[in-house]
């Protein structure tokens, strides 16, 4: 089975075109960041991108419009907003969920809403190397489609080396749940992609994708294609 | 399974990475609370290291015609109530086997208290502080350095307590296995609001006893300043069951999370915060770095909604006038934070009042003299 490539982009004016380029490069799923002023789970690249997006006026309504336009340009690709609880609290939890789905969202990720809080809100759950078996099992039961494996204890952002914690986390998650496991945080190069694909079902690339996206859709498409090729090569081996 | 709720406030709105650490902390806290040796170790430290109990001083000349009693947390070691919490959490962190401590600080009082207890117990200490606060609270930055702590400047966003707190939490996420996050106020994810509130409630317990001894009755009102709200919650805990005692929290007018805020999520808990209609956190503004924070402890939001406590504001100018007033009339230089409480206390329609003088003003001299 082909490995899944998830690309994270921050909502903004260029995002629908960038998302289309990512899909053309081989992305299977696109995460759309709805920026928050105080993103605890994020390192400097995504934090700065959020600051810029907010300065451009990317508030919740504008992000939903961005999601709608992205849906038009990428009609077949699952689109997953990723945000923080404060936005849902302000917008209304149920209303946020309904409007995301109406705008073409497939599910969502709420970075500071751990499994067990607000169980009625369907979303992709995250687990981390620190998660107990009990929590991995709970997240697997509650998650919406796939489980997001946070590869390291830390915030988002490209790293030189892959986290040594990942294989152990994958092994535990395999025992405790049957859902697909996509790994993210600190994955940025084709080499990383190839290595992670040997154990996980897919990868999530965020901070490095944002940096490349600043150079425009062409660069993003080439970068995503390089990750795609690495994932597909891993499959052949 | 939401834990640590005060009505609908509180909870654990943090990335998954921290949940096991919060559960470990919660279990360690419950064990410690049930263990006499924890209480005796903390009591010994509070007495012989920090200088408890602190006196209750009648401020006769500051408010003629009233009896305003000042709870003198300014006389504690390190100069503010923050050391009550820092000592309690360091004893807890040692029980959990943590060797590294991270903290955030606004005015620097919590940073100094944390650096102090880390020096006392030989633990590594990293304190995050906004660049704007480092500028206005220079002496405290130097103190932390002398005490062996590393002060890491936070140079983005508001460059104040809000960003320092976010960075401290990010550090904790990264180093969670070795590190205890020694949060400075009754904010953050459960069980922090409860831990800090209980560690600070020594203020209210002592005051309750002292005011009965001094005035032979309970006060009509107790007043405390509220940023995150830890000195206020500690004071209020001593009187919350006395229905006839009014509880008044005083916020900085430009940082009135309870007075003008809305329900929202910040730094791991749901509370009343300064945010816009999209849930984006708004900037707070106060001359006092310790009150310059757009959130507040969830228990305060609950006490406000239930009507048990009331929350009012004081402007920078009013706080400055009270700061100068107390210095001239009582020979006590208060910190700018409790100066907000002093400003409102003076005009309350009550005769017997207790004000929590949460810290001393040495750190604020440069800021006040420049006004």
- Our separate counts of H helices and E strands in chain B read 13, 14
CA nearest to A111 within chain B: B15
Task: Name the nearest CA neighbour of B272 among B306, B296, B289, B239.
Answer: B296
Cis peptide before B53 (omega within 30 of 0): yes
Kindly report the nearest CA distance between residue A50 and chain B, in angstroms. 11
- In terms of phi and psi (left: phi > 0; alpha: psi -120 to 50; beta: otherwise), the region of A67 is alpha
The answer for residues whose C-beta is within 8 angstroms of residue B218's C-beta and 6 or more apart is B208, B211, B212, B239, B242, B244, B245
Out of 1.10.10.10, 3.30.420.40, 3.40.50.1100, 3.40.50.720, the CATH code matching B11-44+82-189 is 3.40.50.1100
Kindly provide the ipTM of the predicted complex, given to two decimals.
Answer: 0.95
B-chain CB neighbours of A126 within 8 Å are 15-16
Task: Name the nearest CA neighbour of B186 among B131, B268, B128.
Answer: B268
| Dihedral sign from CA coordinates of B313, B318, B323, B329 | negative
Helix (H) or strand (E) holding B42: helix B36-45
**H-assigned helices in B251-361:** 298-306, 316-330, 336-346
Predicted local distance difference test score (pLDDT) of residue B1: 41
Predicted local distance difference test score (pLDDT) of residue B277: 96
Q: Do the Cβ atoms of B263 and A89 come within 8 Å?
A: yes
CA nearest to B21 within chain A: A130
The radius of gyration computed from the CA coordinates of chain A, to the nearest angstrom, equals 16
Mutate to test the interface with A, among B271, B279, B281, B301 (most CBs of A within 10 A): B279
* pLDDT of A229 above 50: yes
Token digits for B145?
């350095």
Kindly report the nearest CA distance between residue B225 and chain A, in angstroms. 25
Determine the Cα–Cα distance for residues B331 and A60; give it in Å rounded to an integer.
53
Interface of A with B in 55-94 (CB under 8 A): 59-61, 84-91
Determine the Cα–Cα distance for residues B51 and A36; give it in Å rounded to an integer.
43
Kindly report the nearest CA distance between residue B294 and chain A, in angstroms. 12
Average pLDDT, chain A: 96
Site of tokens 């604020």: B364
Task: Give the CATH fold of the A4-236 domain.
Answer: TIM Barrel (3.20.20)
Interface of A with B in 182-211 (CB under 8 A): none
Nearest to B16 among A60, A86, A127 (CB): A127
Nearest to A38 among B20, B276, B281 (CB): B281
From A13-22, A53-62, B247-256, B287-296, the region with the lowest mean pLDDT = B287-296
Instruction: Report the predicted TM-score, pTM, of the whole model to 2 decimal places.
Output: 0.96
Q: Quick check: do B11-44+82-189 and B50-80+197-369 share a fold?
A: yes
Q: Map out the domains of chain B as residue ranges.
A: 11-44+82-189, 50-80+197-369
Determine the Cα–Cα distance for residues A61 and A33; give it in Å rounded to an integer.
13
Token digits for B125?
């200490």
pLDDT by residue, tens only, chain B of 371 residues: 456 899 999 999 999 999 999 999 999 999 999 999 999 999 999 999 999 999 999 999 999 999 999 999 999 999 999 999 999 999 999 999 999 999 999 989 999 999 999 999 999 999 999 999 998 888 899 999 999 999 999 999 989 999 999 999 999 999 999 999 999 999 999 999 999 999 999 999 999 999 999 999 999 999 999 999 999 999 999 999 999 999 999 999 999 999 999 999 999 999 999 999 999 999 899 999 889 999 999 999 999 999 999 999 999 999 999 999 999 999 999 999 999 999 999 999 999 999 999 999 998 998 899 88
The radius of gyration computed from the CA coordinates of chain B, to the nearest angstrom, equals 19
Task: Give the CATH fold of the B50-80+197-369 domain.
Answer: Rossmann fold (3.40.50)
Nearest to B20 among A113, A126, A132 (CB): A132
Kindly report the nearest CA distance between residue B349 and chain A, in angstroms. 37
Q: Map out the domains of chain A as residue ranges.
A: 4-236
Q: Do the Cβ atoms of A130 and B265 come within 8 Å?
A: no
Helix (H, G, I), strand (E, B) or coil at B9: strand
């Amino acid at each position: 089975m082909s490995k899944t490539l998830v690309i994270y982009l921050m909502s903004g004016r260029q995002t629908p075109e960038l998302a289309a380029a990512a899909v053309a490069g081989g992305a299977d799923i696109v995460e759309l960041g709805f920026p928050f002023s105080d993103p605890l789970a994020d390192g400097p690249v995504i934090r700065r991108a959020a600051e810029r997006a907010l300065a451009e006026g990317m508030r919740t309504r504008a992000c939903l419009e961005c999601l709608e336009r992205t849906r038009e340009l990428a009609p077949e690709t699952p689109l997953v907003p990723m945000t923080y609880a404060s936005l849902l609290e302000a917008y209304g939890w149920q209303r946020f969920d309904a409007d995301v789905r109406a705008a073409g969202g497939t599910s969502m990720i709420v970075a500071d809403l751990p499994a067990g809080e607000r169980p009625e809100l369907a979303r992709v759950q995250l687990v981390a190397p620190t998660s107990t078996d009990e929590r991995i099992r709970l997240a697997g039961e509650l998650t919406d489609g796939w489980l997001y494996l946070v590869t390291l204890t830390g915030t988002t952002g490209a790293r030189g080396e892959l986290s040594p914690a990942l294989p152990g986390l994958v092994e535990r998650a395999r025992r405790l749940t049957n859902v697909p496991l996509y790994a993210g945080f600190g994955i940025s190069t084709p080499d990383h992609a190839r290595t992670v694909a040997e154990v996980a079902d897919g990868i999530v690339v965020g901070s490095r994708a944002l940096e490349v996206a600043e150079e425009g859709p062409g660069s993003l498409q080439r970068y995503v294609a390089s990750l795609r090729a690495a994932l597909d090569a891993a499959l052949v081996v | 399974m939401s834990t640590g709720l005060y009505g609908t406030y509180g909870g654990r709105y943090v990335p998954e990475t921290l949940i096991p650490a919060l559960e470990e902390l919660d279990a360690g806290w419950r064990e410690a609370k049930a263990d006499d040796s924890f209480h005796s170790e903390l009591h010994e430290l509070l007495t012989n290291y920090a200088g408890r109990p602190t006196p209750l001083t009648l401020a006769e000349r500051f408010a003629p015609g009233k009896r305003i009693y000042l709870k003198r947390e300014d006389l504690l070691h390190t100069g503010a109530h923050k050391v009550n919490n820092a000592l309690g959490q360091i004893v807890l962190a040692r029980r959990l086997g943590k060797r590294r401590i991270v903290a955030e600080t606004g005015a620097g009082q919590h940073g100094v208290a944390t650096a102090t207890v880390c020096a006392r117990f030989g633990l590594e200490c990293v304190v995050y502080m906004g660049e704007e606060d480092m500028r206005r609270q220079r002496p405290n930055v130097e103190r932390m350095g002398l005490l062996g702590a590393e002060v890491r400047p936070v140079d983005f966003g508001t460059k104040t307590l809000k960003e320092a707190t976010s960075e401290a939490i990010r550090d904790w996420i990264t180093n969670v296995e070795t590190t205890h996050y020694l949060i400075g106020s009754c904010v953050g994810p459960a069980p922090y609001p409860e831990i800090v509130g209980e560690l600070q409630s020594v203020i209210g317990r002592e005051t309750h006893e002292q005011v009965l001894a001094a005035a032979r009755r309970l006060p009509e009102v107790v007043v405390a300043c509220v940023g995150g709200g830890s000195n206020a919650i500690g004071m209020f805990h001593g009187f919350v069951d006395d229905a006839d005692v009014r509880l008044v929290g005083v916020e900085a007018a430009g940082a009135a999370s309870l007075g003008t805020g809305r329900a929202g999520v910040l730094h791991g808990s749901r509370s009343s915060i300064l945010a816009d209609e999209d849930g984006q956190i708004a900037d707070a503004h106060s001359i006092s770095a310790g009150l310059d924070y757009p959130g507040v402890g969830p228990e305060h939001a609950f006490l406000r909604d239930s009507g048990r406590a009331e929350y009012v504001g004081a402007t920078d100018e009013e706080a400055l006038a009270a700061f100068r007033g107390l210095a001239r009339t009582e020979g006590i230089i208060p910190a700018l934070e409790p100066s907000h409480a002093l400003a409102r206390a003076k005009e309350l329609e009550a005769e017997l009042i207790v004000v929590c003088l949460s810290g001393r003003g040495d750190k604020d001299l440069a800021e006040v003299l420049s006004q």
